Structure 1
Amino acid sequence: MSDSPSSLRVSLRAARANLAPGLALQVFAGALVAAYFVHAPARAALDTLAAYRERVGLPFALVSTALFGGLLPTLVLRLMPASPGQRQDGWQVAALTLFWAYKGWEVSFFYGVLAHFVGESRDFATIATKTFIDQCVYSPFFTVPCAWCFYRWVENHFAFAPVLAELRRPGWFSGLLPLQIAGWGVWVPAVAIIFQLPTSLQLPLQNLVCCFYTLLVACLTRPVAIK
């Protein structure tokens, strides 16, 4: 069972390990948003993408998020060293791909709700409110617990008993701490950048960040030996 000190050590270790790639990701996302507002060809290309997304509708959200959240991270993980018990089989890959396809609909819907009720302005108050709701309500109370449970279920080869056993243990939620802290390190600056874009372009940029985040989820939901 993970206790709080062990979970905190895992969280800090994950944060340190992912600091450089996380910063590179934020710089890339920031540069992409800046290019949208100051570089006409970049804006035209992104507007074309936004128009395509609007024309295609829901299938765009499902397929693109399944690709960036499910298939691409799986291919990356297959190139990394893993013990036989950690190697994902075809059913696990399919389950994770379907999970992220669903998340594409969920995130698209969530961003639309935020745009409707909070607004689409790029002023500080609007961006801060959206970021707070996303990272202090939606993430810790829904996204992270659901992702943790689903990934643990998949890693246990679709057996419910081990996951339920973990949920019954006192302090089981401390196991979410590494995932949440690592997630905040990626998503707090990322969503503040994402919400600068028009709503129709927020999901595509979210998917780029999602690819990196999914690798974190896959690593942090596997059993880890604490030293």
Structure 2
Amino acid sequence: MSAVVPVHDEAPWKAGLRSARANLIPGLVLQAFALAVVLGYYFHAPTRTGLTRLAELRNDTGVLFGIFTTGLCGGLLPLLYLKAAPSTRRHITWPQGWGLTAFWSYKGWEIALWYGFMAWTLGEAADVRTIAAKSLLDQFVYCPIWAIPTTALVYLWCQNGFNHHLLIADLRTPRWYARRVLPLLLANLGVWLPLVCIIYALPTPLQLPLQNIVLCFFTLMLAHMAREPSLIPAE
């Protein structure tokens, strides 16, 4: 594990915009890929057939599908990638990696519930109004209130060796949301706001599989951002 370093004085919104700019091209590639998947589903018969089988697998396996695939895409695969690269091998320990894999496995269950809740409350139509409503609730209610803060907490907890005393101390430090959540939230919007609009255009059983395809990229971005600040504020 890398040594603890002081918190930078960079404004939170600048840190978030810096990360969003750094990931602009990869983000656009992922968004284009996701859009191609959706267009293939609606306009390319072989793609639709393959995705329909994936949706059937998703329905047959239930909650286990989300737990396994999200843990794999959000935790295990990024862990193996970081450990395989000499430049990042020391940035994450195996216990940290397993902790994040467990976290993303849980998130698979949570996200599946969220997509189901959106379908139950707003319907499963793929019209502009329904997609826009789901996307706005996703990015401006679910993410800032719950998804991003809990993700920031878990990543910072893992970063500092699962030391809950450091985590509590950081939570008690003023402007925690601005320091820890706002940069991630801004970076999240740059990648995920266009993506969720694309994801919600698919039938509900295919929404989680598609979001997991792009999750590997997003978790790598989170890992990069979480390494920079410390849970110990500068004195």
Give the one of 110, 120, 124 matched to 1:120. 124
Could you say which residue in structure 1 is the equivalent of 2:72? 67
Deviation at 1:4, TM superposition (A): 8.0
TM-score (norm 1): 0.93
Deviation at 1:68, TM superposition (A): 0.4
> Which amino acid in the other structure matches residue 72 of structure 1?
L
Give the Cα separation in 2 of the matches to 1:33 and 1:4: 42
Could you say which residue in structure 1 is the equivalent of 2:88? 82
Alignment check: 8 A CA contact 2:66 2:208 kept: yes
Q: Does 1:147 align with 2:151?
A: yes
Of stretches 116-125 and 20-29 in structure 1, the one that deviates more from structure 2 is 116-125
Q: Does 1:14 align with 2:6?
A: no
Percent identity reads 44
TM-score (norm 2): 0.90
Alignment check: 8 A CA contact 1:35 1:43 kept: yes
Could you say which residue in structure 2 is the equivalent of 1:134? 138
Q: 1:38 to 1:181 in 2, by over 3 A?
A: same
Give the Cα separation in 2 of the matches to 1:11 and 1:177: 7
Alignment check: 8 A CA contact 1:4 1:174 kept: no
Give the RMSD, CA atoms, in angstroms.
1.7
Give the Cα separation in 2 of the matches to 1:201 and 1:77: 28
SS at match of 2:220: helix
Deviation at 1:80, TM superposition (A): 5.7
Could you say which residue in structure 1 is the equivalent of 2:174? 170
Alignment check: 8 A CA contact 1:3 1:174 kept: no
| Aligned residues between the structures | 223
Of stretches 66-75 and 17-26 in structure 1, the one that deviates more from structure 2 is 66-75
Deviation at 1:218, TM superposition (A): 1.1
Which runs of structure 1 show a deviation greater than 3 angstroms over 4 or more consecutive aligned residues? 1-5
Matches within 5 A, 1:1-227: 5-78=10-83, 79=85, 81-82=87-88, 84=90, 86=91, 88-175=92-179, 176-224=181-229
SS at match of 1:120: coil
Q: 1:51 to 1:13 in 2, by over 3 A?
A: same
The gaps in structure 1 that reach 5 residues or longer are none
The gaps in structure 2 that reach 5 residues or longer are 1-5, 231-235
Listed one character per residue, the Cα deviations across residues 62-116 of structure 1 (whole Å, up to 9, x for unaligned) are: 11000000011112222161384x3x22221111111111000000011001001
SS at match of 2:227: coil
Give the Cα separation in 2 of the matches to 1:165 and 1:80: 33
Give the Cα separation in 2 of the matches to 1:119 and 1:6: 40
SS at match of 1:221: helix
